[in-house]
Structure 1
Amino acid sequence: MPSDRITPPSALLLLPPPPSVSFDQFRTVYEPILSTVYANLLKALNGSNRTASLEIALSLPGLQSPSCQPPTRAFASLQRIVEHMYRLVGVICIERKIEMEAPGGIDSRVILLDFDSVRETTATATNPVPVERNGPIVDVKTLASSGRLWDSIFYPEIPVGQDLATAFSSFYTPTKDPNGGVPQSVPGSPQWTPGESLVVPGEPTKSLLHHSVILGGTFDHFHIGHKLLLTATALVLQPGGTGPSGQRRTITIGVTGDEMLKNKKYAQFLESWDERCRSTATFLTSIMDFEPPGTEPACIEQIYKPGPNGRQMVMKIGPGITLKMAQILDPYGPTITEEDLSALVVSQETRSGGAAVNQERAKRGWKQLEVFEVDVIQSGEVPSEDVEDFASKISSTDIRRRRMELAMI
């Protein structure tokens, strides 16, 4: 990976399934691999003030099996797996003093990869299988054909890792340095056998498909906690090819307006509403839009209307998907002004908000939102001397505090 460059270095890591979905197993098999890849990216940064990017494509068996479709059937299981991956990213970066999402550091993003080595043998470059190009769950062909600009592609040096890399290479045409198109094995990777039935479906419910999902938050100084919440929200949205033909799918993000944040700690270091919206949109696009090169770029529309939630930023982030960010000036936002919403995503810390929203909707005679709860990223595996540092890296308040301290030096 060249170090004398202007654009920040970028990489893709293809990960086979873990032995089990316990965090301990995640750490045992993935930590050495991630640490090596991070070291490569830091070397490419060469001490510069740029931010490297790493896309982690985590393969899981059964992602597209009928029992796990649509993804809301397995929401609890899938969001926990994503939490484990981001938690591990945080643990590694804290222990190795690597900045996350900041200049001189690494911006890691997790997507879920549907890969079945038996099925993939029927899907070759000359015999393609039709696919939907929406994440955060993608198949190998979609990922390889997306035209993303990776300098390096890595995979663990185990048989199933080689199978994954071979399948990927059968579809991939490098768009940058041709040497970057050859997946590289990570030497010294732990040897393990991938587990089975890692994705656990829940009980069937009447409401499985959601064409309009909402999440609310401040999204100040974007971090891995935000990434987990937004990925979980994308998992709730109904997959492409389901539901009525031509029906648009919408993710609404209620982004707290600047006026509601005046009394926040270190308020002078808050990002503006526009900055927070753009960080949110950039991340969601990166995990959801896998259209190949030549696709018309997304267009951002700024909307200003009188009344509640009137200020919006709207963009299309994939075939049939609209992302709408609305400025919220009260605790409810669009949940009590837009009847068509069908699902709400909350964190464990804000679970009471889901009940309050549905109470308000009931007063209007509206359908209740199905509420999906997302885990909070845990810090229990971080050495005791680093726990406070870990917590500060996933706290927007502490990030602002550090910015203030730096400004005073």
Structure 2
Amino acid sequence: MASDRIPPPLALLLLPPPPSASFDQFRAVYESILATVFTDLLKAINGSNRIASLDIALSLPGLQSPSCQPPTKVFAGLQRIVEHIYRLIGVVCTERNIEMEAPGGIDSRVILLDFDSVRSSKSISKEFGLRNGPIVDVKSLASSKRLWGSVFYPDTPAGQELAAAFSSFYTSTKDPNGGILRPVSRTPQWTPGESLVVPGGTHESVLHHSVILGGTFDHFHIGHKLLLTATALVLQPAGTGHSSQERTITVGVTGDEMLKNKKYAQFLESWDDRSRSTGAFLNSIMDFGPPEMGASHIEQIYKPGPNGRAMVMKIRPGITLRLVQILDPYGPTITEANLSALVVSKETRSGGAAVNQERAKREFKQLEVFEVDVIHFGEVATEEVENFASKISSTDIRRRRMELAMI
């Protein structure tokens, strides 16, 4: 189709804070907004095999305040909020038969927006311009190199206020007429909640400059997005700690040889493809540098020894992403002593204890382990449960690929 040669649409959705941090409240105020925006993007695709991209910036007050820094202090609450949004995306897409991360569908990415810092001060500190995602301020978001075709916002007082703050920075750099701002009408009216993110009472304020997680990351889906976003939240934010200290996210991506016995193995993506999609997503939620910073640099490395094959991305000055091939259950966690934090899903929490046991044998420092919620589908109608599960299961995605190939 000729329409497949047209660049896919890229849009931004600005969301004011929800009334509370419960999933029921997220669904009550955001479901109709997401459905409207998704429908609009599908019209732009016009039945082609293109994939529309949607950046969802969820505003939460006080994210960059001292009480919420570093983000590890409020990690449990933040990752749960991100889980709520991705779960709701899954619900909306399942009930409306919308593809996610697949041709003819929508690729959604969630970032967290500290709007309160802009609203409560007359000027933006230069420090905020140094912040890396997935937590950004309005100025950094509006001044980034993203070229959104549309910027949606709910047509409510809080939504209008958020859009006005964004527009005050965006119009001077990209669209002098502000023509891409699009209110979403007939949306629920609500009062944004306060203190939605509560610091943990016993959590120490530890800065982690080297964070690791592992996984297969086959046929990328919203469960992967949640896990990787949570990992980025653990990383030491720019502008904190020793500014000259390099910050690194290491992702152990399971090697092809370890996956031969997986179900529908013939439809597994290659290590290169799985690593690229993982790196591209992390880059999309972390790099909000201005246009003059240019694109991230990617280097492929092949060398002998444990975890020898890797892709290295310089996301922005001071932040490096390493995608490392893993050939055993532990990967770099037992070969690199300078790691400081490990992110696991609640399904694999036992893996964190096993890693630290192996590190103790080598007299390595113990890793602080952060657990991430698993996206579940209890809110979906009974007849849609299986469909929802298949959208966030790499095995089921491969099964569907096999069934399509047999048609």
Instruction: Give the TM interval when normalised to the shorter protein.
Output: over 0.9
Match of 2:208 in 1: 210
CA RMSD, aligned part only?
1.8
Match of 2:94 in 1: 94
Match of 1:57 in 2: 57
- Alignment match of 2:335 (pick from 337, 340, 344): 337
- Count of aligned residue pairs for this structure pair: 405
Match of 2:75 in 1: 75
- Alignment match of 1:241 (pick from 223, 233, 239): 239
Cα distance change, pair 247–129 in 1 and its aligned pair in 2 (3 A): closer
Match of 1:188 in 2: 186
Name the % identity: 79
Checking the alignment, whether the CA contact within 8 Å between 2:307 and 2:326 is kept in structure 1 is yes
Equivalent position amino acid for 1:146 in 2: S
Distance between the aligned counterparts of 2:245 and 2:127, measured in 1? 23
Cα deviation code 1:274-329 (max 9, x no counterpart) = 00000000000000000111213222111112111011111111221000011000
Checking the alignment, whether the CA contact within 8 Å between 2:70 and 2:205 is kept in structure 1 is no
Q: What SS does structure 1 have at the residue aligned with 2:170?
A: coil
- Alignment match of 1:257 (pick from 255, 258, 283): 255
Q: What SS does structure 1 have at the residue aligned with 2:280?
A: helix
Instruction: Give me the TM-score of the superposition, normalised by structure 1.
Output: 0.95
Distance between the aligned counterparts of 2:173 and 2:387, measured in 1? 38
Cα distance change, pair 279–84 in 1 and its aligned pair in 2 (3 A): same
Cα deviation code 1:50-80 (max 9, x no counterpart) = 0001110000012112111100000000000
Match of 2:45 in 1: 45
Equivalent position amino acid for 1:200 in 2: V
Q: What SS does structure 2 have at the residue aligned with 1:344?
A: strand
Checking the alignment, whether the CA contact within 8 Å between 1:151 and 1:176 is kept in structure 2 is no
Mean CA deviation greater in 164-173 or 237-246: 237-246
Checking the alignment, whether the CA contact within 8 Å between 2:4 and 2:49 is kept in structure 1 is no
Distance between the aligned counterparts of 2:128 and 2:113, measured in 1? 16
- Alignment match of 1:221 (pick from 201, 205, 219): 219
The runs of 4+ residues in structure 1 deviating greater than 2 Å are 117-121, 127-131, 173-182, 203-207
Cα distance change, pair 204–344 in 1 and its aligned pair in 2 (3 A): same
Q: What SS does structure 1 have at the residue aligned with 2:288?
A: coil
- Alignment match of 2:170 (pick from 169, 172, 176): 172
- Alignment match of 1:154 (pick from 152, 155, 158): 152
Match of 1:15 in 2: 15
1:338-377 alignment, distance < 5 Å: 338-377=336-375
1:116 paired with 2:123, answer no
Cα deviation code 1:62-106 (max 9, x no counterpart) = 211211110000000000000000000000000000000000000
- Alignment match of 2:130 (pick from 125, 129, 132): 132
Equivalent position amino acid for 1:196 in 2: E
Cα distance change, pair 196–207 in 1 and its aligned pair in 2 (3 A): closer
Distance between the aligned counterparts of 1:179 and 1:193, measured in 2? 30
Cα distance change, pair 281–355 in 1 and its aligned pair in 2 (3 A): same
Checking the alignment, whether the CA contact within 8 Å between 1:135 and 1:289 is kept in structure 2 is yes
Checking the alignment, whether the CA contact within 8 Å between 2:4 and 2:50 is kept in structure 1 is no
Mean CA deviation greater in 363-372 or 239-248: 239-248
- Alignment match of 2:377 (pick from 376, 379, 386): 379
Distance between the aligned counterparts of 2:29 and 2:379, measured in 1? 15
Deviation, 1:218, is 0.1
Match of 2:284 in 1: 286
Checking the alignment, whether the CA contact within 8 Å between 1:150 and 1:176 is kept in structure 2 is no
Deviation, 1:131, is 2.4
Unaligned runs of 5+ in 1: none
Cα distance change, pair 273–117 in 1 and its aligned pair in 2 (3 A): closer
Cα deviation code 1:236-273 (max 9, x no counterpart) = 00111122231100000000000000000000000000
Equivalent position amino acid for 2:277 in 1: S
Distance between the aligned counterparts of 2:334 and 2:40, measured in 1? 48
Equivalent position amino acid for 1:331 in 2: P
Equivalent position amino acid for 2:15 in 1: L
Q: What SS does structure 2 have at the residue aligned with 1:385?
A: helix
Equivalent position amino acid for 2:275 in 1: C
Distance between the aligned counterparts of 1:174 and 1:387, measured in 2? 46
Equivalent position amino acid for 2:64 in 1: Q
Checking the alignment, whether the CA contact within 8 Å between 2:143 and 2:290 is kept in structure 1 is yes
Checking the alignment, whether the CA contact within 8 Å between 1:95 and 1:386 is kept in structure 2 is yes
